[in-house]
Amino acid sequence: MRKAILVDMDGVLVDIYPRFFELYKKETGINLPEEKVTGLLEAEAFPNQRKWVSAPGFFRDLPVMAGSREVLKRLSGSYDIIIVSLATEFPYSLTDKQLWLHEHFPFISWRQIVFCGNKTIINADIMIDDHPKNLDFFKGETIMFTQPNNIHLTCSAHRRVDSWYQIEKLLLQ
């Protein structure tokens, strides 16, 4: 039987930090150095982050994470892929996120997408996520995708990967 993988969006399929730095620069005129945000949650690192992500349109044109499209397509040959995003906190993000997925990941059907407020109720075998708040409560195999928010964590419970090519190596070879 094929294993099912839950794949997170922000910080895993969506390269979201560059947009945060860009908006911070736009609002303050300051180029925030990456080391200033490492180890902090996004809302701690960027004081206006909740305002930004609440606005209609924010999630519609974010950059795609390097390698995610090709590797996810290859993984689709051997695994059931389910995209799962904690998105219901921000009602206007929902339609934007879905249209973004249709544009950049046309091989992912609407049947494979979940927007929710709690990932613990979703069944699957493997979870790829950048947030320990999601990974810690998952019963299957966990893969932590390196992002500034988790870079200092040394958590032996989750396997760390720094790129989609590492995910491919781990799951397809």
User: Applying CB under 8 A, which residues contact a second copy?
Assistant: 4, 82, 88-89, 91-92, 94-95, 98-99, 102, 109-118, 121-124
What is the smallest separation between the CB atom of 92 and a second copy, expressed in angstroms? Answer: 6
d(CA 81, CA 101): 13
Specify the residue, 29 or 57, whose C-beta has the smaller distance to a second copy.
Answer: 57
Side-chain half-sphere of 22: how many Cα atoms within 13 Å?
9
What is the smallest separation between the CB atom of 100 and a second copy, expressed in angstroms? Answer: 10
Specify the residue, 51 or 102, whose C-beta has the smaller distance to a second copy.
Answer: 102
> In the beta sheet, which residues pair with residue 5?
81, 126
Specify the residue, 76 or 112, whose C-beta has the smaller distance to a second copy.
Answer: 112
Catalytic residue annotation: 8, 10
Specify the residue, 24 or 42, whose C-beta has the smaller distance to a second copy.
Answer: 42
d(CA 93, CA 77): 29
Residues 6+ away with beta carbon under 8 Å from 79: 2, 3, 4, 5, 126, 171
d(CA 93, CA 38): 25
Q: How many CB atoms lie within 10 A of CB 1?
A: 5
What is the smallest separation between the CB atom of 85 and a second copy, expressed in angstroms? Answer: 10
Angle CA 116–119–125, to nearest 5:
130
Residues 6+ away with beta carbon under 8 Å from 41: 149
What is the smallest separation between the CB atom of 128 and a second copy, expressed in angstroms? Answer: 16
